[in-house]
């Protein structure tokens, strides 16, 4: 049995990382994928520093989550994304999931290739596409990385560039959000790109987007940051001052609540 397709683009499931196989966040993806009903879920681990090892891990975790048919092709390079046989495996999927790692690496390997085209085609024909950590960040049209201290204590330069573009709304996505205290990083990015909506997704938490509406599922919450109506910003002043912003709109969406992407506002569930 396969996942049902529909005439409109499919849902997008964005998970903030540290995904538990039996957690509600991954469970939301598996349910939309019809993974427990025999649908084929293809997992792509190109973002990982060890794509083959990550493919094995995700095959195990998605199986633990209830999926009975998991295909995890090893995509370690752009040449792999150009391979017609691998692209055919992705094209035959009933749902697609992108693992974590480095979102810039993921986009550089998959973007503009037959594998990337197969992901887009699956989404357009109504299938669910999900991602965790880097896999979630890469699904927006604009991708954020860097601007934080690495393991060696060095500040990594901020990167803002193109993503895979499956999230229709103008967003920029950050993950491991509360756990890694990334609110300031999101402020800096939105000071430069104030028309984008910032979404900061906590670990083992999903924002499930279907059309103009999203819902939060899982252990944590999703922080939204709207900088369109900022009254003062010194971003781009060239004076080398610390970032100063006034009247940024920030909210937190807890599990079980929804979000209207057109209005950029909370949806309170009815009793």
pLDDT bracket for residue 1 (50, 70, 90):
very low
pLDDT, one tens digit per residue, over 241-261 is: 999 999 999 999 999 999 999
Q: Is the pLDDT reported for residue 151 higher than 90?
A: no
pLDDT at 239 over 90: no
Confidence tier at 4 by pLDDT (50, 70, 90):
low
Query: Predicted confidence band at 6 (pLDDT cuts at 50, 70, 90)?
Result: low
CATH pick for 12-264 out of 3.90.78.10, 1.10.3720.10, 3.40.50.880, 3.30.470.20: 3.40.50.880
Residue among 219, 233, 218, 137 nearest 182 (CA)? 137
CB proximity list for 126: less than 8 A, separation 6 or greater: 4, 5, 6, 7, 8, 9, 10
What angle is formed at CA 42 by the lines to CA 207 and CA 205, rounded to 5 degrees? 20
Q: Which of 227, 213, 225 lies closest to 257, judged by CA?
A: 213
For 181, other C-beta atoms within 10 Å of its C-beta total: 10
Q: What are 152-173's pLDDT values in tens digits?
A: 888 889 999 999 999 999 999 9
Q: What is the 8-class DSSP label of residue 36?
A: G
CA 94 to chain centre: 18
Question: CA torsion, points 48, 50, 51, 54, in degrees to nearest 10?
Answer: -80
**Which pLDDT tens digit goes with each residue over 104-139?**
999 999 999 999 999 999 999 999 999 999 999 999
Write the CA distances from 46 to 76, 107, 137, 144, 230, integer angstroms.
5, 9, 14, 17, 37
């Amino acid at each position: 049995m396969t996942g049902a397709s529909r005439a409109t683009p499919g849902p997008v499931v964005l998970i903030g990382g540290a995904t538990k196989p039996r957690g509600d966040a991954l469970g939301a993806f598996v349910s939309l994928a019809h993974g427990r009903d025999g649908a084929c879920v293809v997992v792509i681990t190109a973002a990982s520093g060890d794509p083959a090892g990550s493919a094995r891990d995700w095959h195990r975790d998605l199986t633990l989550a209830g999926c009975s048919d998991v295909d995890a092709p090893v995509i370690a390079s752009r040449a792999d994304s150009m391979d017609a046989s691998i692209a055919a495996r992705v094209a035959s999927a009933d749902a697609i999931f992108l693992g974590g790692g480095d979102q810039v690496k993921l986009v550089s390997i998959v973007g503009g290739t037959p594998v990337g085209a197969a992901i887009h085609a699956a989404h357009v024909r109504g299938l669910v596409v999900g991602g965790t950590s880097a896999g979630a960040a890469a699904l927006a049209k604009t991708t954020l990385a860097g601007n934080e201290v690495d393991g060696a204590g060095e500040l990594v330069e901020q990167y803002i560039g193109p993503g895979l573009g499956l999230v229709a709304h103008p967003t920029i996505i950050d993950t491991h959000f509360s756990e890694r205290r990334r609110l300031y990083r999101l402020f800096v990015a939105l000071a430069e790109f104030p028309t984008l909506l910032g979404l900061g997704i906590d670990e083992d938490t999903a924002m499930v987007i279907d059309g103009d509406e999203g819902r939060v599922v899982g252990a944590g919450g999703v922080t939204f940051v709207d900088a369109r109506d900022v009254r003062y910003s010194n971003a781009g002043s060239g004076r080398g001052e610390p970032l100063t912003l006034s009247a940024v709109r920030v909210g937190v969406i807890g599990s079980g609540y929804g979000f209207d992407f057109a209005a950029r506002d909370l949806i309170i569930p009815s009793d």
